[in-house]
Structure 1
């Protein structure tokens, strides 16, 4: 039987941990449409730079965002390939697990 290579489990766990925080989800939502600098993210989220830095660090460690420096500003964008890794991880459960259809209220009538 051929073993399928998979990303390190620590990276998968870091990804889901990063997705478990509401502020980090807001950051990701803001980055869906464009790259933003820290100052723009702070303003849009009404949080201090130190608080945001903590959350951006978690997103970077999970490889969900990437950063680039331009002058004194750091710009963040989504790292879409890592989202694909998480999606593929979850899809393995769907593909190999029997999923029962949801019962409707009519079944009880």
Structure 2
């Protein structure tokens, strides 16, 4: 099966144009649903973040109103809990891309703080 690299933001805030910051991170469902699909198909997932920091979930992405209600929110939260690779990321700068068959970037506002400007 394939080895898939999830490149996840290490940012826990987004700096706005006026210099203020807004708490953020990765969007839960955008990481959980693909993770479940890939691992359910037998693929290996490795998480990498800038500096190897444990990524922060955007708390807003766990709210019932963005997950189709409480049942959906509970499902996403349970999926995050089962996503053990998020708790032990590798440093993005140490990744050898030749070791992977695919690269996936979960969304959210956090990637605009670090991944969008990472050389």
TM-score (norm 2): 0.26
Larger relative CO (CA 8 A, sep 6+): 1 or 2?
A: 2
Structure with bigger helix share is 1
Structure with bigger strand share is 2
TM-score (norm 1): 0.28
